[in-house]
Amino acid sequence: MAPRILSALAFAATATAFPGSGSSFNATALFGPHVSSGTLIAAFSDPGFASVVGPRWSTWEAPTYVAAIKPATVSDIQQIVKIAGQHQIPFLATNAGHGAATGYGDVQNALNINLAHFNSVSIDVAASRMTVGGGTKFGDVFDPLFAVGKELQTGNTWCVGVMGATLGGGIGAFQGLHGLVIDSLESVEMVTASGALVKASKTVNSDLFWALRGAGTNFGIVTEATFEVHDYTNSGRVVLGQFSFPPAANVSVYSAVASFDRYIPPELALFVSATFNRTAGESRVNVAVIYFGPVADAQPFLDKFDALGPLAKVVRNLTTPDLFGKVLSTGVCNDGGRQNPYHVGLGRTDVATFSKFFGEFDTFAKAHPSYAAVVVAQRYSNVVMGQTPDTATAYPWRDIKTYLLFSNTYTNNSIEGDVDVASKSWRAMFEATSGFSTPHMYVNYDHGDEGPAAKYGARKLAKLRVLKQIWDPHHLFGTPNPLY
Ligand SMILES: Cc1cc2nc3c(=O)[nH]c(=O)nc-3n(C[C@H](O)[C@H](O)[C@H](O)COP(=O)(O)OP(=O)(O)OC[C@H]3O[C@@H](n4cnc5c(N)ncnc54)[C@H](O)[C@@H]3O)c2cc1C
Ligand SMILES: *[C@@H]1O[C@H](CO)[C@@H](O)[C@H](O)[C@H]1NC(C)=O
Ligand SMILES: *[C@@H]1O[C@H](CO)[C@@H](O)[C@H](O)[C@H]1NC(C)=O
Ligand SMILES: *[C@@H]1O[C@H](CO)[C@@H](O)[C@H](O)[C@H]1NC(C)=O
Ligand SMILES: *[C@@H]1O[C@H](CO)[C@@H](O)[C@H](O)[C@H]1NC(C)=O
Ligand SMILES: *[C@@H]1O[C@H](CO)[C@@H](O)[C@H](O)[C@H]1NC(C)=O
């Protein structure tokens, strides 16, 4: 490690010659003497900055950094937070870099704390427990769990940070069977705003643990987390049916999806997406049927969509690491695109709204050749997650049935204004027929303009703000998705 730090320190340089505060500071001078030799530090202008700063998925509303630091030990993180706090240097700890919302653009002239060194995974098979570092990605746990016959409800792609997703709740195809990711979180160790290393669980700092499960990025940096893991379902094999339908089938497809509003089996997850096929020159409605069980049990659900006349169909029998790590990650894990997401949580599938949206999406895509969005509705059973009382965690929206995400991407930035206008109108249209009287927004899917009540729940905010006063009174954390 020593040679790496020497070269890192050697190329570290900043705009000013002395440690400072706010928008200009010399990170090497300020932090270097207080961190271990494995820590890398670089100013933005240094040639080695790119290897120290954390990766970033979306170029839209990206944070701006004066410097980056990649700590090697927990005590390094404690020192960094303490010193940054003392000097009023804004910072953002990042891991896989998939956070995308206007709030990330609010992080300006900051210090990036790259958590990549905290990527440990250890599994206690007999106790059904897994402990991961604060810098792990979901892809780090798929294979180790499968190898010992276990599973955890994760997000759906390998490239997303475990803690970034978990601290907002954590959704994914396994949630019908196992609930939100937070529902399996047992304890964490974290660095709080004072620089202290604290534990939080149902019995230790239980209020903090409550807040972490839904609003967690406002309270500190998790260095390590322990989850309860489950024996794998169907020996770790899952059925995936992928169907692609012509535009004219939109109403029949959405109606089939709506037939699951009252009941969807916990083993079943549906992804229903709108895309525009540039080769064919028309839109597609696509359905992915994911079934955690034998092919024979999945068959009725495959048949239901097969009967609607798909243009293309592929049915596979896969391991869950292949489902999440390969198939569902294809195309979405590439960094560097302009990704400007919008989202709304739904309590029902309003076929007329979906169909109206699809028509407008088709028109919009035809008029904007660089628009390459995937608008996907993820439908999961919320029976198991509903067994955890609303009061048990900060996460406010256990009643969401369908997470609708407008994954907007485009290469021509001049269409951004049009994308925003269209997306806001679609979001409002879905909100109006969502079955909810107030906006329900999964915080990790936000655009950034929804406000704290939509992301955290009005009824949760008072307690969250009291806890914020206790644990982070000077608001060192939480700029991307603040409680205020
Ligand atoms: C392609 C893609 C797929 C996705 N799939 C899913 C999914 O299946 N399920 C789901 O729930 N969400 C999903 N998301 C949303 C995802 O949960 C959020 O984008 C999440 O914030 C990403 O975390 P990250 O570490 O990748 O990003 P980063 O930008 O590195 O971090 C995001 C936020 O988390 C904080 N953070 C990260 N690590 C820690 C830590 N150890 N301690 C404290 N704070 C931390 C950061 O400070 C930042 O505020 C997806 C997003 C994308 C782009
Ligand atoms: C930052 O501080 C380091 C260590 O004190 C020093 O070597 C370097 O020259 C400083 N950089 C600038 C730009 O002043
Ligand atoms: C797009 O349409 C073309 C022509 O119909 C087809 O060959 C291709 O497979 C489609 N692409 C996707 C991603 O469905
Ligand atoms: C699914 O794949 C596994 C492993 O190849 C195989 O044992 C099983 O028979 C397959 N099931 C079906 C229904 O094809
Ligand atoms: C969606 O389906 C309805 C009913 O079949 C149809 O009238 C409409 O044109 C379809 N939308 C598109 C974009 O094809
Ligand atoms: C980009 O979009 C703008 C606005 O729609 C349009 O005028 C322009 O021609 C587009 N540029 C390219 C290269 O397509």
- What are 62-101's pLDDT values in tens digits? 999 999 999 999 999 999 999 999 999 999 999 999 999 9
Mean residue pLDDT of the chain comes to 95
Kind and range of the H or E element at 68?
strand 65-70
Q: Are residues 68 and 177 in the same domain?
A: no
- Residue 8 Cβ contacting ligand 2 at under 6 Å: no
Domain holding 156: CATH number?
A: 3.30.465.10
- The answer to whether position 353 is within a domain reads yes
- The answer to whether position 6 is within a domain reads no
- The answer to whether position 290 is within a domain reads yes
Residue of minimum CA distance from atom 25 in ligand 1: 161
Ligand 4 centre to CA of 270 (Å) is 22
The answer to whether 226 and 131 are in contact (CB under 8 A) is: yes
Distance CA 97, CA 115 (A): 10
- Residue 14 Cβ contacting ligand 2 at under 6 Å: yes
Domain holding 302: CATH number?
A: 3.40.462.20
Domain, as residue range, for 61 = 12-114
Query: 242, 273, 277: which to mutate for ligand 3, most atoms within 8 A of CB?
Result: 277
Query: 275, 351, 355: which to mutate for ligand 5, most atoms within 8 A of CB?
Result: 355
Q: Are residues 186 and 64 in the same domain?
A: no
Q: Are residues 314 and 360 in the same domain?
A: yes
- The answer to whether position 482 is within a domain reads no
Strands 268-277 and 110-114, sheet pairing = unpaired
Residue of minimum CA distance from atom 51 in ligand 1: 98
Distance CA 365, CA 354 (A): 16
Ligand 1 centre to CA of 365 (Å) is 28
- Residue 9 Cβ contacting ligand 2 at under 6 Å: no
Residue of minimum CA distance from atom 10 in ligand 5: 248
Phi, psi of 185 (to 5 degrees): -80, 125
- What are 417-468's pLDDT values in tens digits? 999 999 999 999 999 999 999 999 999 999 999 999 999 999 999 999 999 9
Nearest ligand, measured from the Cα of 45: 2
- Residue 52 Cβ contacting ligand 1 at under 6 Å: no
DSSP 310: -
Predicted confidence at residue 24, as pLDDT, reads: 86
Total structural domains within the chain: 3
Distance CA 317, CA 239 (A): 5
Q: Are residues 243 and 348 in the same domain?
A: yes
Ligand 5 centre to CA of 426 (Å) is 17
Distance CA 481, CA 484 (A): 9
Closest CA to 37 of 8, 81, 2: 2
Residue of minimum CA distance from atom 12 in ligand 6: 412
- Residue 359 Cβ contacting ligand 5 at under 6 Å: yes
Closest CA to 394 of 462, 481, 480: 462
Nearest ligand, measured from the Cα of 19: 2
Question: What residues flank ligand 4, with Cβ below 6 Å?
Answer: 237, 295, 317
Chosen domain end from 82, 99, 114? 114
Question: What residues flank ligand 3, with Cβ below 6 Å?
Answer: 244, 277, 279-280
pLDDT in single tens digits along all 484 residues of the chain: 333 333 333 333 333 334 444 568 999 999 999 999 999 999 999 999 999 999 999 999 999 999 999 999 999 999 999 999 999 999 999 999 999 999 999 999 999 999 999 999 999 999 999 999 999 999 999 999 999 999 999 999 999 999 999 999 999 999 999 999 999 999 999 999 999 999 999 999 999 999 999 999 999 999 999 999 999 999 999 999 999 999 999 999 999 999 999 999 999 999 999 999 999 999 999 999 999 999 999 999 999 999 999 999 999 999 999 999 999 999 999 999 999 999 999 999 999 999 999 999 999 999 999 999 999 999 999 999 999 999 999 999 999 999 999 999 999 999 999 999 999 999 999 999 999 999 999 999 999 999 999 999 999 999 999 999 999 999 999 999 999 9
In ligand 3, which atom is closest to the CA atom of 244?
14
Q: Are residues 105 and 166 in the same domain?
A: no
Ligand 5 centre to CA of 409 (Å) is 24
Nearest ligand, measured from the Cα of 138: 1
Contacts of 215 (CB under 8 A, 6+ apart): 167, 168, 394, 443, 456, 460, 464, 481, 483
Q: Are residues 396 and 406 in the same domain?
A: yes
Q: Are residues 222 and 242 in the same domain?
A: no
Q: Are residues 259 and 201 in the same domain?
A: no
- The answer to whether position 2 is within a domain reads no
Q: Are residues 214 and 318 in the same domain?
A: no
Query: 160, 332, 407: which to mutate for ligand 1, most atoms within 8 A of CB?
Result: 160
Q: Are residues 110 and 157 in the same domain?
A: no
In ligand 3, which atom is closest to the CA atom of 286?
14
Task: Give the C-alpha distances (Å, rounded to integers) separating 385 from 183, 240, 389, 396, 443.
Answer: 8, 23, 9, 12, 17
Predicted confidence at residue 3, as pLDDT, reads: 30
Q: Are residues 49 and 160 in the same domain?
A: no
Kind and range of the H or E element at 251?
helix 250-258
- The separation between the first and the last C-alpha atoms of the chain, rounded to the nearest angstrom, is 41
- The answer to whether position 101 is within a domain reads yes
Q: What's the predicted TM-score (pTM) here? A: 0.95
Q: Are residues 263 and 402 in the same domain?
A: yes
